[in-house]
């Protein structure tokens, strides 16, 4: 596969994952607001903003849910807004239009064309969460469309790689905000905040199946970090990263492949054998920061090995 | 209810005629040849099936199908971008629902004429880039060729695979008032529009599924396979040929077409930055390392292909690719330098070239063309500026042009001075009434002027898909079919019969 194509597929997938995550966080937060006190709601909005690393794009002063949602979702100048992510996903998809299936492209294109002219104010007064739920659904459909219409060859594995590197980082970030120093949360988190955290990761129902509805801080951390079978756990994402790396660039020289696989294997070992009891004493934020840093290293290694390599070195 | 059912039944038996109450009440026949109706208002045989369907479909239903077509184009991303004040919007090139229909026998003649023409043009290109026999014999003036800005000296003495310089050609034809198809222009460089031919077919087939079968429409869906076979036939080896489509990238207005053709052929779209040349061999940068490339279907102008051989400032091209081509390690299709033969002045010589190289009479005529470099023609042009269209030879897209009947006296006088100062740079043609075809405009069926661009493939054999891009001047009375100036397009049916 062309290196440029791999680059476009990888980033298309990362941006789609980011768009879905952003949309879901806003939807969950808007739905939860109804049951939260004013202070709790405000603190929880600040956590959402921090999870999405969008602090510089939020108006200062007391939180206005409309303005925050607008900035997180539809601010074209916010590089991590929902609409920016979708636009970049589509731009990348357009450049590899011949690599992805027509069904996939049409769905992505339609979603973007529907959202690009949308004014949040016109849908805000009815059910503000509705549009964000709908976007999450559309993106799930797109994922399913991709799964069943695209050949699961190298292109597919670059999509997987992008999706799960992004997911591992996003989920780690969400956990850092909720388990890190109290400065993030402002006050101690209550029951509803923990339920909201699970919902941010579509994990509430899955968590209850494993641990019953007994909502406990350490179990939530354990589930979102180390559950082997839940698609939004860090461990699950890392497993997929490692698997995808084993299946891209089959023809590349062994030395270049090894550099990537070594890093992925190291990360995989740390989440496969990690114990939540060891982390709850206060080292969890260091552990999470390390997961994010290792994802970054894997990204760099993939670029060096397969995408941005110097042609002179391989002739 | 019963009354309207009876009315419908009557309408079925006796479809309305142009200008009378019914589906064609806004259809008026003018001086131009009409594709659907004879001058007496009778439906031509090839349109009979479509006419029967139109009589059965309500105007609202047609409107609904038209909207479905447009939405489908938008969702597929068959759009071009219009840049506004602070936000860019994407528009589709309007597509008209009603197909333009060509009878089988008429197509057979067109096909024979187009094959003859591409054969002669390839022989001509071979000649001027090798012996120059045609120049020595004085049939074509040397200055016309060597002075052309599309002549590529670098191509001299270079042998191209199968002697085929032009592998993909899009020829523009128009139908005159007398019903005859004549050639308006040969596009021998990087002709585009074939994706619209295929996309129009795709949406129209869905809009009129039943008549499609009954009318006996010939299939065009194999065009990408034919293109692939043509490109493959140019390679030196036939096993495991690696073919790429070289595109300027996603910002090019024809990018959709580049990606579309690559996808349909199952090959990669590459940009200049994806290719590297080492030791006169071209490689693509892949995730697994460098992979050799054998055939490049280029969709960038030849002067941008290689900054080392042509324009040094080009960032779209591949440094060194022309040397790899000279060394025979890669094929570039179309060959660089084909533009010299679709120049407006050389165009006028094509009928003579057909006689010269093939010893045959041209099957397809040209539009009557006056070469201002010939003294007799110049005086005729100067005397009839108010009736003629005068075009600068090296320009395209309507630049340096005088449309006599629409110009003021002052404009004509100023143009006459330019003409006298540099007659070699100009040709003149009479204004032609392009034929009209029924189009669905704001809920009514009205005539609009159309042209015809079939696509000819030339490798080890010459292949023409039985179809074409029909461009439509959507403004009432307009003769300008270019998409940049309010033109649209429609599906083109070639019938078995």
* Contact predicate B373/B423, CB 8 Å: yes
pLDDT category at B13 given cuts 50, 70, 90 is very low
pLDDT category at B88 given cuts 50, 70, 90 is low
As a three-state string, the secondary structure of chain B is: CHHHHHHHHHHHHCCCCCCCCCCCCCCCCCCCCECCECCCCCECHHHHHHHHHHHHCCHHHHHHHHHHHHHHHHHHCCEEEEECCCCEEEEECCEEEEEEEECHHHHHHHHHHHHHHHHHHHHHHHHHCCCCHHHHCCCCCHHHHHCCCCCCHHHCCCCCHHHCCCCEEEEEEEECCCCCEEEEEEECCCCCCHHHHHHHHHHHHHHCHHHHHHHCECCCCCHHHHHHHHHHCCCCCCCCCCEEEECCCCCCCCHHHHHHHHHHHCCEEECHHHEEEECCEEEEEECCEEEECCEEEECCCHHHCCCCCCCCCCCCCCCCHHHHHHCCCCEEECCCCHHHHCCHHHHHHHHHHHHHHHCCCCCCEECCCEECCCHHHHHHHHHCCCCEEEEECCCCCCCCEEEHHHCCHHHHHHHHHHHHHCHHHEEEEECCCCCEEEEEECCEEEEEEECEECEEEECCCEEECCCCEEEEECCCCCCCCCHHHCEEEEEEEEECC
State residue A119's pLDDT score: 86
State residue A133's pLDDT score: 96
Same domain? B250 vs B320: yes
Q: Give the mean pLDDT of chain B.
A: 90
Select the residue from A1, A2, A315 to test the B interface by mutation, using most B Cβ atoms within 10 A: A2
Q: Which of A224, A212, A208 is nearest to A271 (CA)?
A: A224
Task: Tell me the shortest Cα–Cα distance from B337 to chain A, in angstroms.
Answer: 29
Q: Cβ A2–B270 below 8 Å, yes or no?
A: yes
State residue A182's pLDDT score: 57
* CA-based nearest residue in chain A for residue B293: A2
pLDDT category at B345 given cuts 50, 70, 90 is confident
Select the residue from B288, B290, B292, B318 to test the A interface by mutation, using most A Cβ atoms within 10 A: B288
pLDDT of residue B134 exceeding 90, the answer is: yes
Task: Tell me the shortest Cα–Cα distance from B439 to chain A, in angstroms.
Answer: 28
Q: What CATH code is carried by the domain that includes residue B268?
A: 3.40.50.11290
Q: What would the mean pLDDT of B315-341 be, rounded to a whole number? A: 96
Cα angle, residue A212 at apex, residues A206 and A216 outer, rounded to 5°: 95
pLDDT category at B10 given cuts 50, 70, 90 is very low
Q: What would the mean pLDDT of B20-41 be, rounded to a whole number? A: 91
pLDDT of residue B137 exceeding 70, the answer is: yes
pLDDT of residue B140 exceeding 60, the answer is: yes
State residue B75's pLDDT score: 87
Q: What would the mean pLDDT of B49-72 be, rounded to a whole number? A: 88
- The answer to whether residue B39 is domain-embedded is no
Chain A positions touching chain B (beta carbons under 8 Å): 1-6, 91, 94-95, 97-99, 102, 105-106, 109-110, 113, 154, 248-253, 306-307, 309, 311, 314-315
**Interface membership of B80 toward A (CB under 8 Å):** no
**pLDDT tens digits, one per residue of B313-322:** 988 999 999 9
**Interface membership of B286 toward A (CB under 8 Å):** yes
What residues of B are in contact with residue A106 (Cβ under 8 Å)? Answer: 75-76
Q: Which of A141-155, B86-100, B112-126 has the lowest mean pLDDT?
A: B86-100
**Residue B131 burial by CB count (10 A; 0-12/13-18/19+): exposed, middle or buried?**
exposed
Q: What would the mean pLDDT of B7-14 be, rounded to a whole number? A: 49
**pLDDT tens digits, one per residue of A36-73:** 999 899 999 999 999 998 888 888 888 999 999 999 99
How many other C-beta atoms lie within 10 A of the C-beta of residue A31?
Answer: 17
Q: Cβ A315–B255 below 8 Å, yes or no?
A: no
**Interface membership of B154 toward A (CB under 8 Å):** no
pLDDT category at B105 given cuts 50, 70, 90 is very high
**pLDDT tens digits, one per residue of A189-219:** 889 999 999 999 999 999 999 999 999 999 9
- Which residues are A7's β-sheet partners? none
Q: What would the mean pLDDT of A137-155 be, rounded to a whole number? A: 96
**pLDDT tens digits, one per residue of A50-60:** 999 888 888 88
- B268-280: string of b/e by CB count within 10 Å (b at 16+)? bbbbbebbbbeee
Cα–Cα dist B334/B342, whole Å:
13
Q: Which of A183, A218, A182, A178 is nearest to A199 (CA)?
A: A178
**Interface membership of B288 toward A (CB under 8 Å):** yes
Task: Tell me the shortest Cα–Cα distance from B113 to chain A, in angstroms.
Answer: 34
- Which of B262, B285, B289 is the closest to A98 by Cβ? B262
User: Residue A134: CB partners within 8 Å, gap ≥ 6?
Assistant: none
Domain ranges of chain A: 1-149, 152-315
Q: Which of B210, B227, B304 is nearest to B262 (CA)?
A: B227
Cα–Cα dist A206/A69, whole Å:
27
CA distances, A22 to each of A17, A51, A69, B176 (Å): 9, 9, 10, 60
State residue B395's pLDDT score: 65
Q: What CATH code is carried by the domain that includes residue B380?
A: 3.30.1490.270
pLDDT of residue B47 exceeding 90, the answer is: yes
What residues of A are in contact with residue B278 (Cβ under 8 Å)? Answer: 311, 315
pLDDT category at B8 given cuts 50, 70, 90 is low
- Which residues are B402's β-sheet partners? B390
* CA-based nearest residue in chain A for residue B262: A98
Q: Which of B170, B148, B142, B185 is nearest to B389 (CA)?
A: B185
Task: Tell me the shortest Cα–Cα distance from B65 to chain A, in angstroms.
Answer: 19
**Residue B383 burial by CB count (10 A; 0-12/13-18/19+): exposed, middle or buried?**
exposed
pLDDT of residue B9 exceeding 60, the answer is: no
Q: Give the mean pLDDT of chain A.
A: 93
pLDDT of residue B72 exceeding 50, the answer is: yes
* CA-based nearest residue in chain B for residue A248: B287
Q: Cβ B249–A2 below 8 Å, yes or no?
A: no
What residues of A are in contact with residue B269 (Cβ under 8 Å)? Answer: 97-98
Q: Cβ A1–B286 below 8 Å, yes or no?
A: yes
Q: What would the mean pLDDT of A286-311 be, rounded to a whole number? A: 94
Cα–Cα dist A287/B209, whole Å:
61
Widest CA span in chain B? 81
Q: Cβ B77–A314 below 8 Å, yes or no?
A: no
State residue B135's pLDDT score: 97
Cα–Cα dist B116/B110, whole Å:
10
CA distances, B77 to each of A109, A118, B54, B92, B257 (Å): 7, 19, 29, 8, 11
Q: Cβ B260–A248 below 8 Å, yes or no?
A: no
Q: Which of B479, B493, B448 is nearest to B27 (CA)?
A: B448
State residue B15's pLDDT score: 59
- Which of B77, B269, B278 is the closest to A315 by Cβ? B278
State residue B91's pLDDT score: 77
CA B201 to chain centre: 16
Task: Tell me the shortest Cα–Cα distance from B140 to chain A, in angstroms.
Answer: 44
How many other C-beta atoms lie within 10 A of the C-beta of residue A262?
Answer: 12
Q: What would the mean pLDDT of B18-29 be, rounded to a whole number? A: 88
State residue A311's pLDDT score: 80
**Interface membership of B75 toward A (CB under 8 Å):** yes
**Domain endpoint, select from B379, B407, B430:** B430
pLDDT category at A132 given cuts 50, 70, 90 is very high
pLDDT of residue A17 exceeding 50, the answer is: yes
- Which of B77, B283, B288 is the closest to A109 by Cβ? B77
Roughly what angle, to the nearest 10 degrees, separates helices B59-76 and A102-115?
A: 100
Range of the domain at B273: 237-327
State residue A301's pLDDT score: 96
Q: Cβ A2–B260 below 8 Å, yes or no?
A: no
Sign for the CA dihedral angle at A133, A201, A248, B288 comes to: positive
Widest CA span in chain A? 65
- The answer to whether residue B404 is domain-embedded is yes
pLDDT category at A161 given cuts 50, 70, 90 is very high
**pLDDT tens digits, one per residue of B398-426:** 567 888 888 899 989 999 999 999 898 89
* Contact predicate B120/B350, CB 8 Å: yes
Give CA torsion, residues A149, A154, A160, A166, to 10 deg: -130
pLDDT of residue B483 exceeding 80, the answer is: no
* Contact predicate A99/A9, CB 8 Å: yes
As a three-state string, the secondary structure of chain A is: CEHHHHHHHHHHHHHHHHHHHHHHHHHHHHHHHCCCCHHHHHHHHHHHHHHCCCHHHCCCCCCCHHHHHHHHHHCCCCCCCHHHHHHHHHHHHHHCCCCCCHHHHHHHHHHHHHHCCCCHHHHHCCCHHHHHHHHHHHHHHHHHHHHHHCCCCHHHHHHHHHHHHHHHHHHHHHHHHHHCCHHHHCCCCCHHHHHHHHHHCCCHHHHHHHHCCCCCHHHHHHHHHHCCCCCCCHHHHHHHHHHHHHHCCCCCCHHHHHHHHHHHHHHHHHHHCCCHHHHCCCCHHHHHHHHHHHHHHHHHHHHHHHHCCCHHHHC
A&B contacts, CB < 8 Å: 78
**Interface membership of B88 toward A (CB under 8 Å):** no
pLDDT of residue A136 exceeding 50, the answer is: yes
State residue B210's pLDDT score: 85
- The answer to whether residue B485 is domain-embedded is no
Select the residue from A4, A157, A244 to test the B interface by mutation, using most B Cβ atoms within 10 A: A4
pLDDT category at B396 given cuts 50, 70, 90 is low
What residues of A are in contact with residue B270 (Cβ under 8 Å)? Answer: 2, 4
pLDDT of residue B491 exceeding 50, the answer is: yes
Q: What would the mean pLDDT of B456-484 be, rounded to a whole number? A: 91
Number of domains in chain B: 2
Q: Cβ A311–B290 below 8 Å, yes or no?
A: yes
- Which of A2, A99, A315 is the closest to B274 by Cβ? A2
**pLDDT tens digits, one per residue of B348-374:** 999 999 999 999 999 999 999 999 988
Q: Which of B462, B148, B154 is nearest to B332 (CA)?
A: B154
Same domain? B241 vs B293: yes
- The answer to whether residue B398 is domain-embedded is yes
pLDDT of residue B267 exceeding 60, the answer is: yes
pLDDT of residue B278 exceeding 90, the answer is: yes
- Which of A3, A106, A311 is the closest to B76 by Cβ? A106
Q: Which of B131, B324, B337 is nearest to B236 (CA)?
A: B324
pLDDT category at B482 given cuts 50, 70, 90 is confident
**pLDDT tens digits, one per residue of A215-260:** 999 999 999 999 999 999 999 999 999 999 999 999 998 988 999 9
CA B286 to chain centre: 34
**Domain endpoint, select from B389, B406, B430:** B430
């Amino acid at each position: 596969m062309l290196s440029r194509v791999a680059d476009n597929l990888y980033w298309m997938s990362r941006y789609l994952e980011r768009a879905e995550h952003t949309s879901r966080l806003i939807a969950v937060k808007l739905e939860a607001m109804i049951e939260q006190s004013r202070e709790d709601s405000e603190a929880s909005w600040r956590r959402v903003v921090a999870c999405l690393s969008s602090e510089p794009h939020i108006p200062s002063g007391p939180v206005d849910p409309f303005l925050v949602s607008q900035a997180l979702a539809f601010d074209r100048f916010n590089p991590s807004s929902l609409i920016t992510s979708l636009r970049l996903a589509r731009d990348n998809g357009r450049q590899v239009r011949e690599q992805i299936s027509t069904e996939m492209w049409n769905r992505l294109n339609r979603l973007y064309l529907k959202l690009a002219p949308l004014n949040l104010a016109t849908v805000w007064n009815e059910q503000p969460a509705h549009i964000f739920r709908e976007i999450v659904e559309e993106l799930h459909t797109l994922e399913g469309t991709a799964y069943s219409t695209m050949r699961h060859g190298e292109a597919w594995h670059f999509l997987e790689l992008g999706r799960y590197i992004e997911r591992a980082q996003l989920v780690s970030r969400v956990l850092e905000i909720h388990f890190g120093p109290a400065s993030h949360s402002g006050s101690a988190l209550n029951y509803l905040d923990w339920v909201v955290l699970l919902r941010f990761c579509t994990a509430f129902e899955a968590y209850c199946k494993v641990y019953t509805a007994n909502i406990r801080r350490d179990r939530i951390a354990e589930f979102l970090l180390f559950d082997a079978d839940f698609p939004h756990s860090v461990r699950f994402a890392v497993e997929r990263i490692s698997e995808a790396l084993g299946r891209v660039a089959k023809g590349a020289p062994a030395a270049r492949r090894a550099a990537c696989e070594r890093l992925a294997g190291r990360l995989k070992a740390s989440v496969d054998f990690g114990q939540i009891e060891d982390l709850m004493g206060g080292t969890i934020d260091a552990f999470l920061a390390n997961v994010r840093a290792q994802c970054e290293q894997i990204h760099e290694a993939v670029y060096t090995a397969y995408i941005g390599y110097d042609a002179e070195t391989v002739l | 209810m019963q009354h309207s059912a009876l009315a419908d039944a009557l309408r079925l038996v006796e479809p309305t005629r142009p200008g009378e109450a019914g589906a064609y009440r806004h259809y008026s026949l003018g001086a131009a040849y009409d594709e659907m109706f004879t001058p007496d208002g009778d439906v031509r045989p090839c349109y009979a099936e479509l006419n029967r369907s139109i009589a059965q479909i309500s105007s609202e239903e047609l409107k609904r199908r038209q909207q479905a077509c447009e939405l489908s184009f938008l969702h597929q991303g068959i759009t071009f971008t219009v840049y506004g004040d602070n936000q860019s919007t994407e528009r589709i090139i309007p597509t008209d629902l009603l197909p333009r229909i060509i009878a089988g026998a008429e197509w057979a003649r067109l096909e024979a004429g187009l094959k003859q023409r591409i054969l002669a043009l390839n022989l001509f290109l071979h000649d001027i880039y090798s012996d120059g026999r045609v120049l020595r014999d004085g049939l074509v003036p040397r200055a016309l060729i060597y002075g052309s800005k599309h002549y590529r000296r670098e191509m001299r003495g270079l042998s191209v695979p199968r002697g085929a310089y032009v592998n993909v050609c899009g020829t523009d034809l128009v139908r005159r008032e007398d019903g005859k198809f004549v050639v308006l222009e040969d596009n021998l460089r990087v002709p585009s529009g074939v994706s619209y031919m295929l996309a129009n077919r795709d949406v129209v087939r869905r809009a009129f599924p039943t008549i499609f079968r009954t009318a006996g429409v010939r299939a065009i869906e194999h065009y990408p396979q034919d293109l692939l076979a043509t490109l493959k036939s140019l390679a030196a080896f036939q096993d495991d040929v690696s073919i790429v489509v070289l595109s300027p990238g996603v910002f090019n207005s024809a990018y959709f077409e580049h990606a579309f053709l690559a996808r349909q052929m199952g090959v990669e779209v590459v940009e200049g930055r994806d290719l590297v040349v080492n030791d006169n061999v071209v490689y693509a940068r892949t995730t697994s390392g460098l992979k050799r490339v054998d055939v490049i279907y280029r969709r960038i102008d030849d002067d941008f292909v290689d900054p080392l051989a042509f324009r040094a400032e080009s960032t779209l091209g591949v440094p060194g690719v022309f040397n790899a081509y000279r060394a025979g390690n890669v094929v570039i299709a179309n060959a660089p330098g084909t533009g010299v033969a679709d120049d407006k002045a050389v165009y006028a010589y094509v009928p003579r070239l057909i006689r010269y190289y093939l010893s045959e009479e041209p099957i397809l005529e040209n539009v009557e063309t006056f070469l201002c470099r010939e003294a007799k023609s110049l005086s005729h042009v100067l005397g009839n500026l108010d009736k003629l269209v005068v075009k600068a030879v090296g320009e395209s897209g309507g630049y340096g042009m005088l449309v006599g009947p629409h110009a003021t006296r002052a404009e004509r006088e100023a143009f006459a001075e330019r003409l006298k100062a540099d007659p070699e740079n100009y040709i003149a043609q009479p204004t032609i009434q392009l034929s009209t075809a029924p189009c669905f405009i704001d809920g009514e069926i009205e005539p609009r002027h159309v042209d015809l661009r079939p696509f000819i493939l030339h490798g080890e054999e010459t292949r023409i898909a039985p179809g074409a891009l029909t461009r439509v001047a959507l403004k009432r009375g307009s003769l300008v079919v270019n998409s940049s100036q309010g033109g649209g397009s429609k599906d083109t049916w070639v019938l078995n019969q």
